[in-house]
Structure 1
């Protein structure tokens, strides 16, 4: 948090008192090639959610969180539609998800052209308004905006300021009006200047389950037609990051492409909470038990094979410790979700 600026910007990555060496700097989202202590890119916006979960926010903390929310709304919603924009795939945390392949093409996170994308953003001084107006490699990302809405709701509860509930309601309404696909029963990202829906089923399309402000009938469709569908997302050891019906579903280990089918514990955590908010406690229990079984089998790993439970990537990985909180899942009603009678 000390890497944040007074205007409310918080970098995706802080370099802990040392800028990246020149050999790596072209791949980091910095303002220049040298001397930077953090990136100019954002992270999935969940700070108020984290603060609410931990508790103990001081007046200075709340002022900081409000400044951060205002920065996101002012700088990352250039068309004022209530949906914030990401410039790089990794700003969502889903770096190499196949949903970005058609949007970024040769500039995708895992391709050599990514350095060109970073340099383009540098030339535009990381202005979302400029890049959204002049290029097509940018996304109004469903997962990012779900996180944004969750944070705005948390901020309203933390501060007592109804303004944040109004902003959250606007983001939720925009997700429904612009990202919901009635034919598919899913929420899809909006890409480029045309804001075309990216019709590829990833767990991001399920993320609005965590928002109780989304109409219940839409959340029920997402749950019943996709999350609980055994050929799509209902795997034994957790929710795949890509639908098992998608050609891009590749759940095994890959050193560079990790969001193409593997199950992640933070995904399971959000989905367990979303199911509980719908009163689907038996299904939530089953999902939590399967994800916990993967941890018991493989330890706290970066991600897991959703069909075998084998762990991959980094070991002793922080995301996976959300397994401790899995029985209740994310508190989609704002406070811990009570189990239904």
Structure 2
């Protein structure tokens, strides 16, 4: 069996090498030809197992696209984007926002880059890497706290793409609230008939594009967008990763001997963790839910995102036991963990049911953090099995195990390297 694993690891390295560009890794050649924020973070987590220097450069290249205000954008267009939609012209972001020449999108993604940088540092022990990235990571976490939080505790996003789980049924309510009008554009992501049925609908995309154009119209003024945008959501996954980002930042500062900064970011992690525990728990569903700040109502949807606060050490004893009960619905599949288990499930459509390697990786670590080791082992076993049977697909059908979406997908290859390492780091330090 180890021979099969070794062969698959060799193929994983090959996928990452073929998707490597000048200092970064594209998610896939099929649909995603640039650098994506949290994709690069997950790539670095696994790439450090095969090529530590490339993993460090992956993180540093992403941070090279950081805006002057601290935001790390969702997409960095390091190469020609002709024919891609929405490209840099659609976003309308001047390159001088980054202090360099790269153009970017106008939104961010969950702050996975911070724990990923901590992970790379753990694996390499490279203090020069740690010291080089710490200022940018601090500025990113500070940007979340000052630009994307109403209370200094929970943070919000203003576009479904910024959640990483853009097609989740959780966003149906906020998106239904506004009429995008006549939005003209040409979709590049549905030209392949095999992908078309798996991607978000035109109804969804009309609203995605309208939100982009609203941001461009006000030159991405965060204050105005907070007041005027119809989509302002405290996303539970983003907040869970924000806690882990603050923890990781604290840990790295402590390693660097800066106790003042270590204490500050540890306190921030505690504040956001407590807010998730006290304000975003849905007892009927038995998990945590996102919150629509425009309508001031919970988005009570049974998504895998609602389990991920375990990664941040959020649950109290009662919530922990309720989560144990809730897990049964997510584990009642031949292959786990589905991204959604509610009435709008579609096992072949993006975030409406398929299994994703990145959320499985986050969940497995969260399960171990709260002591659910048996469930964690199941998640790891199924994640490895899916790749070994179907290849490095973008996502997988939880009932049949069939690989779906793009093939030779980078984070699936990278996380396989971490899943099957001889000494996987499965439990956060806390």
Q: TM-score range by the shorter chain?
A: 0.7 to 0.9
Q: In the superposition, relative to structure 1, how do residues 24 and 61 fare at CA in structure 2: closer, same or farther (>3 Å)?
A: closer
Counterpart residue number, 1:136: 230
Deviation at 1:164, TM superposition (A): 0.4
Counterpart residue number, 1:239: 337
1:64 to 99, 116, 136: 136
Counterpart residue number, 1:251: 347
Equivalents in 1 of 2:134, 2:118: separation in Å? 10
Counterpart residue number, 2:355: 263
Counterpart residue number, 2:19: none
Q: In the superposition, relative to structure 1, how do residues 81 and 65 fare at CA in structure 2: closer, same or farther (>3 Å)?
A: closer
2:212 is the alignment partner of 1:118: yes
Q: In the superposition, relative to structure 1, how do residues 192 and 280 fare at CA in structure 2: closer, same or farther (>3 Å)?
A: closer
Equivalents in 1 of 2:417, 2:317: separation in Å? 28
Equivalents in 2 of 1:265, 1:190: separation in Å? 25
Q: In the TM superposition, what whole-angstrom CA distance separates every residue of 1:199-233 from its partner, at most 9, and x where no partner exists?
A: 111111111121224324313322x222233xx44
Counterpart residue number, 1:284: 376
Mapping of 1:169-318 within 5 angstroms?
169-222=270-323, 224-229=324-329, 232-243=330-341, 246-252=342-348, 257-318=349-410
2:153 to 82, 86, 89: 82
Greater displacement, 178-187 / 17-26: 17-26
Deviation at 1:288, TM superposition (A): 1.7
Q: Which residues of structure 1 form unaligned runs of 5+?
A: 336-341
Deviation at 1:21, TM superposition (A): 5.8
Counterpart residue number, 2:417: 324
2:106 is the alignment partner of 1:44: no
Q: In the TM superposition, what whole-angstrom CA distance separates every residue of 1:152-196 from its partner, at most 9, and x where no partner exists?
A: 000000002210011111111111222111232211111132421
Contact 1:40–1:126 at 8 Å: present in 2 too? yes
Equivalents in 2 of 1:220, 1:128: separation in Å? 39
Q: How many aligned residue pairs are there?
A: 324
Q: Which residues of structure 2 form unaligned runs of 5+?
A: 1-62, 95-100, 181-199, 255-261
Point out the structure with the larger helix share. 2
Equivalents in 2 of 1:212, 1:22: separation in Å? 39
Deviation at 1:27, TM superposition (A): 9.0
Please state whether the residue corresponding to 1:110 is helix, strand or coil. helix
Equivalents in 2 of 1:297, 1:281: separation in Å? 24
Deviation at 1:236, TM superposition (A): 2.0
Q: In the superposition, relative to structure 1, how do residues 22 and 259 fare at CA in structure 2: closer, same or farther (>3 Å)?
A: closer
Counterpart residue number, 2:76: 14
Q: In the TM superposition, what whole-angstrom CA distance separates every residue of 1:39-90 from its partner, at most 9, and x where no partner exists?
A: 111021112201111113342311111111111211111x124111111101
Q: In the superposition, relative to structure 1, how do residues 94 and 20 fare at CA in structure 2: closer, same or farther (>3 Å)?
A: farther
1:3 to 43, 61, 65: 65
Q: In the superposition, relative to structure 1, how do residues 26 and 14 fare at CA in structure 2: closer, same or farther (>3 Å)?
A: closer
Please state whether the residue corresponding to 2:394 is helix, strand or coil. strand
Q: In the superposition, relative to structure 1, how do residues 125 and 295 fare at CA in structure 2: closer, same or farther (>3 Å)?
A: same
Contact 1:97–1:260 at 8 Å: present in 2 too? yes
Q: Which has the higher contact order (CA 8 A, sep 6+)?
A: 2
2:119 to 32, 38, 53: 53
Q: In the superposition, relative to structure 1, how do residues 324 and 17 fare at CA in structure 2: closer, same or farther (>3 Å)?
A: closer
Equivalents in 2 of 1:53, 1:194: separation in Å? 38
Contact 2:354–2:396 at 8 Å: present in 1 too? yes
Greater displacement, 183-192 / 325-334: 325-334
The TM-score, its normalising length taken from structure 1, stands at 0.86
Q: In the superposition, relative to structure 1, how do residues 316 and 30 fare at CA in structure 2: closer, same or farther (>3 Å)?
A: same
